[in-house]
C-alpha cells in the first residue's frame, strides 16, 4: 500500500465523494417524490392511468439502470433531447428509483386496514386528516426499511454513472488508477467510501424506524 498516493490525489477523491453525495441526494429526492406521485396517480380509477402506471413500472424495473442511462445520454440527442451527464445522472436515478418507491408506497398504504379508513370517514374525518393521523403513522414504520434498502441500492448504482463521464467517486478512482497504474489504493478507497456512506444511511434509517414505530412500543 502506497499511502502517499492519497496525499497527492485527495483533492480529486474528495471532489468525487462530494459530487457523489450531491448527485445521489438529488436523485433520491427525485425518486421519493416521483414514486409518491406515481402511487397517487395509480389510485385514480381510470384505465388509461392504470396502463401508464403499469407500463412505467414494467419498463424501469424490467431494464438495467445502465441501459436507461445510455439511452438518455447517447440516444436523447437523436430525438432532440440534449442533457448534460450530470442531468442524465440525476434524472436516471430519479426515474429508476421512482418505479421502486411507488410500489413501496403502495404496500405501505395497503397495510392500513380499510376498516380504519372507513370508520374515520364515518366519524367525519377529512381525507387529509385520515392521511396524516391514521395512514401515515401506521405505514411509515413499514415502508422505512424497504425505503432505506432502495436508497442504498441507488447510492451503489450511482457508480455506473462514471460511464457517461459524470465526475463522481468512481470516476475519481479510475482517474487515480490510470495515472498511477495502481489498482489497490484507488479501488480500496472507493469500496470503503461507499461502505461508509451506506453504513451511515442504514443507521439513519434505523433511527427513523424507531421514531416512526414509537407508538407501537408505547402500546405494548
* 4-219: CATH number: 1.10.3720.10
* pLDDT of the residue at 1: 75
Closest listed residue to residue 134, CA positions, set 125, 143, 142: 125
| H helical segments located in 43-135 | 47-62, 65-70, 85-110, 114-122, 127-130
Locate the domains of the chain by residue range: 4-219
Per-residue buried b or exposed e for 92-107, using 16+ beta carbons within 10 Å of the residue's own CB = bbbbbbbbbbbbbbbe
Extract the C-alpha cell encoding 218: 408505547
Q: Which helix (H) or strand (E) holds 136?
A: helix 136-157
Digit-coded pLDDT (tens) for 34-91: 999 999 898 888 999 999 999 999 999 999 999 999 999 999 999 889 999 999 999 9
Q: Residue 215's pLDDT band (boundaries 50, 70, 90)?
A: low
3-class DSSP state for residue 166?
A: coil
The pTM assigned to this predicted structure is: 0.89
Digit-coded pLDDT (tens) for 4-30: 888 899 999 999 999 999 999 999 999
Q: Residue 213's pLDDT band (boundaries 50, 70, 90)?
A: confident
* pLDDT of the residue at 209: 85
Amino acid at each position: 500500500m502506497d499511502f502517499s498516493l492519497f496525499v497527492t490525489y485527495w483533492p480529486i477523491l474528495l471532489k468525487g465523494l462530494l459530487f457523489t453525495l450531491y448527485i445521489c441526494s438529488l436523485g433520491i429526492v427525485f425518486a421519493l417524490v416521483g414514486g409518491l406521485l406515481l402511487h397517487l396517480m395509480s389510485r385514480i380509477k381510470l384505465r388509461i392511468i392504470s396502463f401508464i402506471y403499469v407500463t412505467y413500472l414494467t419498463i424501469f424495473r424490467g431494464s438495467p439502470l445502465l441501459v436507461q442511462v445510455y439511452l438518455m445520454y447517447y440516444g436523447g440527442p437523436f430525438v432532440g433531447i440534449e442533457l448534460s451527464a450530470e442531468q442524465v445522472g440525476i434524472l436516471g436515478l430519479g426515474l429508476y428509483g421512482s418505479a421502486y418507491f411507488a410500489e413501496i408506497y403502495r404496500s405501505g398504504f395497503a397495510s392500513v386496514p380499510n376498516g380504519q379508513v372507513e370508520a374515520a370517514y364515518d366519524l367525519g374525518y377529512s381525507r387529509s386528516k385520515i392521511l396524516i393521523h391514521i395512514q401515515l403513522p401506521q405505514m411509515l414504520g413499514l415502508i422505512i426499511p424497504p425505503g432505506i434498502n432502495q436508497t442504498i441500492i441507488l447510492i451503489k448504482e450511482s457508480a455506473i454513472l462514471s460511464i457517461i463521464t459524470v465526475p463522481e467517486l468512481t470516476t475519481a478512482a479510475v482517474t487515480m488508477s490510470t495515472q498511477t497504474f495502481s489498482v489497490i489504493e484507488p479501488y480500496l478507497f472507493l469500496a470503503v467510501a461507499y461502505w461508509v456512506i451506506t453504513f451511515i444511511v442504514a443507521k439513519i434509517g434505523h433511527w427513523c424506524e424507531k421514531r416512526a414505530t414509537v407508538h407501537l412500543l408505547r402500546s405494548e
